[in-house]
Amino acid sequence: MTTLRLGVDAGGSRTRAVVLDTSGTPLGRGESGGANPAGQARAGAVDQLAAAVSAALGPLDPARVAACLVGLAGYRALPDPDGFAGLVRTALGLRCPVRLVPDTVPALACGGVADGRGTVLIAGTGAICVRLDGTRTLARSGGLGWLLGDEGGGFWLGREALRHAHADPDGPLGTAVRAHCAADSPDRLLRWAYDGPPRRLADLAPLVSRLSDAGDADALAIARAAADHLAALVRATAVPAEPLVLTGSVATAPGPIRQHLLHGLADLAPLLPATDAATAAALLARPAP
């Protein structure tokens, strides 16, 4: 019976899983909510990982999985990575070990960097830039989370949009934010902001992208500021002679943020993903000898 490889990209907002056969052909994909253990209870993160993998496997027997690699946002916050990996293995029903690595490892690989040495910017819900040599971190900028940093990431974009909407509720951006939040006044915007989990502010980020792409001056100013923040993370981390990969929905989605970022980093010849991070994780997964 053909063995399988399982790759998981576990981020702050979404978790994606891919199952490959031995030839690298995808047999299934699954998606669930965020599985960053630094942003929620450990059991909740495990549940999200299990949901994504279950959807990817479908009718396939988990016992056929010969190798599993999970790129995990919040990896550094784990006090016991081996213990967490054991919990994940049990929840997924796997017989093979679960290998946990920081989400930066498959993120760099998804840009086609074969030797694992280079710099990767991940700009999704949060923002972090890391220079890697395999799984070893050589330098890091950002990644402080929504409370202390992550400037330029999705949460930051949402927070800036909400701030603007509170100050100018009737402008194009303010109107779009109020519609999303079902808020008819600035006070109700504040209530919406503080009544739910902080990371849901990242759901406002697409509004900034859509309106900046349409030429709204306020949204465009936020988008350009985000790109400048992200470029600063790269400048503090990258080495000119090595590959640079830009990943994450904020950095790679077509629009002013990506355009401004690529222009600002042109001398570093940034690469965009050639595949998704979950597939890259599955390709990096190797059966135990």
> Is the pTM higher than 0.75?
yes
Q: Which comes out higher in pLDDT, residue 35 or 109?
A: 109
**Token reading at 110:** 């998804």
Q: What is the pLDDT of residues 155-196, one digit of tens each?
A: 999 999 999 999 999 999 999 999 999 999 999 999 999 998
Q: Is the pLDDT of residue 224 over 60?
A: yes
pLDDT in tens, 120-160: 999 988 899 999 998 889 999 998 888 888 899 999 999 99
pLDDT of residue 36: 83
pLDDT of res. 79? 86
Which position has the higher pLDDT, 184 or 2? 184
Domain annotation for the chain: domains and CATH numbers = 4-110+276-284 (3.30.420.40), 113-273 (3.30.420.40)
Instruction: Summarize the confidence of residues 89-94 as an average pLDDT.
Output: 92
What is the distance of C-alpha 142 from the center of its chain?
14
Whether residue 74 is predicted with pLDDT greater than 90 in this model: the reply is no
- Of the candidates 277, 232, 235, 289, which has an alpha carbon nearest to the alpha carbon of residue 252? 277
Which band of pLDDT confidence, cut at 50, 70 and 90, is reported for residue 40?
low
What pLDDT is stored for residue 145 in this prediction?
A: 81
Over range 108-129, report the average pLDDT.
91
Looking at the DSSP assignment, which residues form a beta bridge with residue 136? 133
CB atoms within 10 A of CB 59: 5
* Section 251-280 average pLDDT: 95
Q: What percent of the chain has pLDDT over 90?
A: 77
* Structure-model confidence comparison of residues 40 and 77, the more confident one: 77
First to last CA, the chain: 19
52: pLDDT strictly greater than 90: yes
**pLDDT level of residue 234 (50, 70, 90 thresholds):** very high
pLDDT at 197: 85
**Model confidence band, residue 287 (pLDDT cutoffs 50, 70, 90):** confident
Q: Among 56-60, 111-115, 129-133, which is the least confidently predicted range?
A: 111-115
Q: What is the pLDDT of residue 215?
A: 93
How much is the pLDDT for 39?
A: 66
pLDDT confidence tier of residue 107, bands split at 50, 70 and 90:
very high
Mean pLDDT of the chain: 92
**Residue 283 clears pLDDT 80, i.e. is over it:** yes
- Residue 35: the pLDDT is 85
